[in-house]
């Protein structure tokens, strides 16, 4: 089981959000947003990615959901698919743990930023049970060549929220919007939001996230 930071309600917990951080970050990155989301009876789980070498960063070891070989989104093997699958298995274990704690999959939102957003998208599209929702912040599609064969009916039924910075020079907005268009072609219900920012989060995005989360979990 991945090491996680958790914010658990003092009283009854009726839903959960599993939030995946970006490359080189940690579960602490998005924990400060919890008080701004207005979900006092929801558990927030912020897992820490395994530490591993990352090719695009000269092989330095850092928290990473998978190895990234190239920043060029036109390169078909830019990510290590074996790593992606291993991380997805770890995320599914967290979903299973929520079920064991009394939170059904349709009361869980899977969220992520950047590399974490790519993992949230990958895992939710291949879900065994329909989730309450998926949030893809500044993310993109990984392992696209296998998507049509691996997407599940439960995955097609997950409502999705996409947010991206118009000035993002790390994950260009075109990559995020391409992911949004890809899930629409799969029949997924999804909404798109873009903001005047770079590879980051701003107040307007947090406000929109709050509305989506409350609509899915209340």
Q: Tell me what pLDDT residue 174 has.
A: 95
Supply the CATH classification number for the domain 4-217. 3.40.50.1820
Q: Which two tokens stand for residue 212?
A: 């989506």
Q: Which region among 60-74, 124-138, 147-161, 183-197 has the lowest average model confidence (pLDDT)?
A: 60-74
User: What are the catalytic residues?
Assistant: 114, 168, 199
Boundaries of every domain in the chain? 4-217
Residue 119 CA to residue 91 CA, distance in Å, equals 9
How do residues 167-210 score in pLDDT, each as one tens digit? 999 999 999 999 999 999 999 999 999 999 999 999 999 999 99
| Prediction pTM value | 0.96
């Amino acid at each position: 089981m991945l090491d996680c930071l958790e914010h658990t309600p003092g009283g009854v917990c009726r839903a959960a959000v599993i939030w995946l951080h970006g490359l080189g970050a940690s579960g602490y990155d998005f924990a400060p947003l919890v008080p701004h989301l207005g979900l006092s009876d929801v558990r927030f789980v912020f897992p820490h990615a395994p530490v591993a070498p990352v090719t695009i960063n000269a092989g330095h070891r850092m928290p990473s959901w998978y190895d990234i070989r190239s920043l060029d989104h036109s390169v078909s093997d830019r990510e290590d698919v074996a790593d992606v699958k291993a991380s997805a298995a770890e995320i599914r274990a967290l979903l299973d743990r929520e079920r064991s704690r009394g939170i059904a999959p349709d009361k869980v939102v899977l969220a992520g930023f950047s590399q974490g957003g790519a993992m949230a998208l990958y895992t939710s599209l291949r879900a065994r049970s329909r989730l309450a929702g998926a949030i893809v912040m500044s993310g993109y599609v990984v392992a696209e060549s296998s998507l049509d064969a691996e997407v599940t009916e439960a995955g097609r039924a997950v409502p999705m929220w996409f947010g991206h910075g118009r000035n993002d020079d790390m994950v260009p907005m075109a990559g995020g919007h391409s992911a949004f268009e890809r899930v629409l072609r799969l029949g997924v219900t999804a909404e798109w939001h873009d903001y005047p920012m770079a590879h980051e989060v701003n107040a307007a995005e947090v406000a929109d996230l709050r509305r989506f989360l409350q609509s899915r979990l209340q």
